[in-house]
Amino acid sequence: MLKRKRIGVVPLIFVLELAVLCAAFVHAFAQSEEELIRGAKKEGQAVFWSSMRIDDSKALTTGFEAKYPFLKVEIVRAGGEQIVNRAITEHMAGKTTYDVLNAFALKVLQNRGLLQPYAAPEANHYLTGFKDAQNFWVSLYSGYNVIGYNTKLVPKNEVPKNWEDLLNPRWKGKLGMDDEEYFWYAGMLKYWSEDKGRKYMEALSRQGLQFRNGHALLADLMSVGEFPVAVVVYPDQIEQMKLKGQPVGWVKTTDPILVNLAPVAVAAKAPHPNAAKLLMNYSISKKGQDILQKARRASARHDVSPLVPEMDPRKLKLVPLDPEIPTNAEHIKDFRRTFGLN
């Protein structure tokens, strides 16, 4: 009899403890905006680490502070890799000074347990693939990987229509490429399969590529004729250049158009958790995304108009890239070996 009672009590206690934990977890997910506001008023601030241009972050947080005047946002601007490394360093030191993060490689932090799941209400307006299935992040903005060209140097009837067209002998020695094109490289191997992808990349490596560092520089050099075609550019940059009268264009027919995601997420141990959730939710809201669109950043919200009609995601073969791809050291090593950059 005694043994039976003891065996029965332990599971009951465990079930009760589990119920309490689950209730707390559900509450964290189900907090209303009113509850968050009450908590945020006591916190008074939020710290935002972002790899965006500082002007873009300021525009976003200015809109946020106008909506929540009792909050001030401290912006820390750094490169994506710096943000990830700094967050890990803080974690190892037993501290967390940031609330909200925005960088391409946040999956590293998610895997280390440094992000917390938050079912932001505004995430419901995002397309599948542009948000985490477990609610750890939503893509704050997106970067489409497309072929770019100089409209003065490439006649309309000769513009490459697909990735395979870049292997045409006529483009040998006339292609520019970012020397850190890791996202696109790994994404193509995943989308096409390792076998097809590697054969393509090896053939592309024999095209006499001209390597430069950074997509903005690549697009600028293409526009002045240093090379007529760039393997990968971002169409939002190209559209900005077109507004300034520069002779550039981008290809809309490639299959696939791989999409770099720039996730935004809340820190697992955010010092100001209520303000952090308000900031994340605002950043992916219609108002927040409209602000970023004015900064020429592509949104994945289905109710935000594209930067230009040609960038309408419903008209393009978009394939969102896994945010974990750029963190894979093997992909980086393989890319540099394939293109002789070691």
Which pLDDT tens digit goes with each residue over 216-234? 999 999 999 999 999 999 9
Check whether residue 202 and residue 233 sit in a common domain: yes
- Residues near 171 by beta carbon (within 8 Å), at least 6 away in sequence: 160, 165, 207, 229
The predicted pLDDT at position 19 comes to 40
The predicted pLDDT at position 159 comes to 98
Cβ–Cβ under 8 Å, residues 304 and 286: yes
Cβ–Cβ under 8 Å, residues 28 and 270: no
**Amino acid identity, position 201:** M
The predicted pLDDT at position 27 comes to 43
Check whether residue 176 and residue 290 sit in a common domain: no
The predicted pLDDT at position 7 comes to 34
pLDDT under 70 in the chain at which residues? 1-30, 325-327
Q: How many domains does the chain have?
A: 2
Check whether residue 20 and residue 92 sit in a common domain: yes
Which pLDDT tens digit goes with each residue over 75-119? 999 988 899 999 999 999 999 999 999 998 898 899 999 999 999
DSSP class of 198: H
Residue 165's CB is within 10 A of a number of other CB atoms, namely 17
Task: Let me know if residue 313 belongs to a domain.
Answer: no
Check whether residue 177 and residue 223 sit in a common domain: yes
Check whether residue 281 and residue 165 sit in a common domain: no
Report CA torsion sign: 151, 152, 155, 159.
negative
Query: For position 231, which CATH number holds?
Result: 3.40.190.10
Check whether residue 33 and residue 114 sit in a common domain: yes
**What is the domain range of residue 301?**
8-143+261-307
Check whether residue 253 and residue 266 sit in a common domain: no
Check whether residue 221 and residue 82 sit in a common domain: no
The predicted pLDDT at position 264 comes to 98
